[in-house]
Amino acid sequence: MIERNNQNQDPWWPRYADRMDGMQASEIRELLKIIDQPGVISFAGGIPDPELFPRDAARQAYEAVLSDPVSASKALQYSVSEGDSDLRAWIVDHMAMQGVACSINNILVTSGSQQGLEFLGKTFISPGDTVLVNAPTYLGALQAFACNQPIYDALATKATNRTAASYRETALSRGSKVSFSYVVPDFANPTGETLTLEERHRELGLVHDLNIPLVEDNPYGQIRFEGDPLPALLALECQRVGSINNSQVIYCGSFSKVFTPGLRVGWVCASKEIIQRLCLIKQASDLNSPAINQRVMHWLAEREFGNQIAKTKASYGAKRDAMLAALEKYMPIDVDWTHPQGGMFIWLTLPESKDAGQLLDRSLKEVGVAFVPGQAFYADKSGKNKVRLSYSLPTVDTIEEGITKLAGLLKAP
């Protein structure tokens, strides 16, 4: 089931462990290096708008942490692997507002939610295991899991004929077992779509039938422009099983999309046993996340969270509106797209005959517009006619200009 790649010209290749076989460079990150040029309108990188970063507040926060000698000494020293206890207490309150009752023993601070994903893959995925992910799914999660050598099955969100038994049988037919599942429930990367309440309950039922963990990755949930918030999967699970300490859902949160990704602060919220386990992994991986950044993030979260959410929603909401309006106005009739109620992404479906990779080449060359071809987000590399557009970084004006140009290309023979 696991085959050794005959990869690249690296003379070290024969000496690497087999787990290196599946690890490849992120197409997006490689792409970003190429398109990061003046004049290109980029809908590619799913990164926040630096205009929204709390720059002055961050200055004040670092100054506040470092100007007091006792606080500074702590901020510049090694610290506990679990994370700063004030920050964890803030996260406990934040989770409570999402309907999750927990204590700081249910929280581990990680270096962004990416690190949470990597730790969870390491904890649960044995080589050859089947992992359930949506098709498409977040590319970074596929990368985080890769060195554990999983195989994938496509986790359905809509009602289908896929049951726990069908996932089990499919795995068995490939000599595998289902051990792990992963979803982005709110404004998913790359589609911008959100699971309905019914779909959330269905996912929970499934992972209970399969007796596997469900990782809920929620970096965008706070950035909702319209519609009512839906309960986190972890909140529904806590209702279902009575306590977070019985939960099969493991929640990954992040300050990257709302505050700043530069401090690399995220968290995992889960049963205390899983947090203890992840804490051991944290210790072995990098001892602890930078204490100073955790102190600063706590300072920012306490004072600026509400403002920052409001600012981010207003900005990305207007940009989404601009992109949807431009798509509506300029795109040919045979192109379809999602209507996200929050987050940073719109997902285009081109006619079956179109290849988004080829379109990107032409688009960069002829009109200077960048996006990410959808294929990158499929574990099975399907989705040739899909396109991920991010509206977080460009201005409203460049969004209209870029969509006009992209639509022109698609209309051209």
Distance CA 163, CA 73 (A): 54
Measured from the CB atom, the residue of 275 and 331 that comes closer to its own copies is: 275
Measured from the CB atom, the residue of 223 and 324 that comes closer to its own copies is: 223
In contact, 366 and 408? CB cutoff 8 Å: no
Pairing mode of beta strands 369-370, 345-349: unpaired
Min CB(302)–its own copies separation in Å: 18
Q: Which amino acid is at 14?
A: P
Measured from the CB atom, the residue of 146 and 359 that comes closer to its own copies is: 146
Distance CA 87, CA 335 (A): 45
Min CB(356)–its own copies separation in Å: 22
As given in the structure block, the two tokens for residue 202 are: 């269905």
Instruction: Give Cβ neighbours of residue 41 (< 8 Å, ≥ 6 apart).
Output: 368, 369, 370, 394, 398, 401, 402, 405
As given in the structure block, the two tokens for residue 219 are: 């970096």
Measured from the CB atom, the residue of 269 and 292 that comes closer to its own copies is: 292
As given in the structure block, the two tokens for residue 286 are: 């990098």
Measured from the CB atom, the residue of 25 and 159 that comes closer to its own copies is: 25
As given in the structure block, the two tokens for residue 221 are: 């949930």
Min CB(157)–its own copies separation in Å: 23
In contact, 203 and 214? CB cutoff 8 Å: yes
Measured from the CB atom, the residue of 126 and 358 that comes closer to its own copies is: 126
Min CB(123)–its own copies separation in Å: 6
Min CB(131)–its own copies separation in Å: 12
The DSSP code for 76 is T
Min CB(409)–its own copies separation in Å: 28
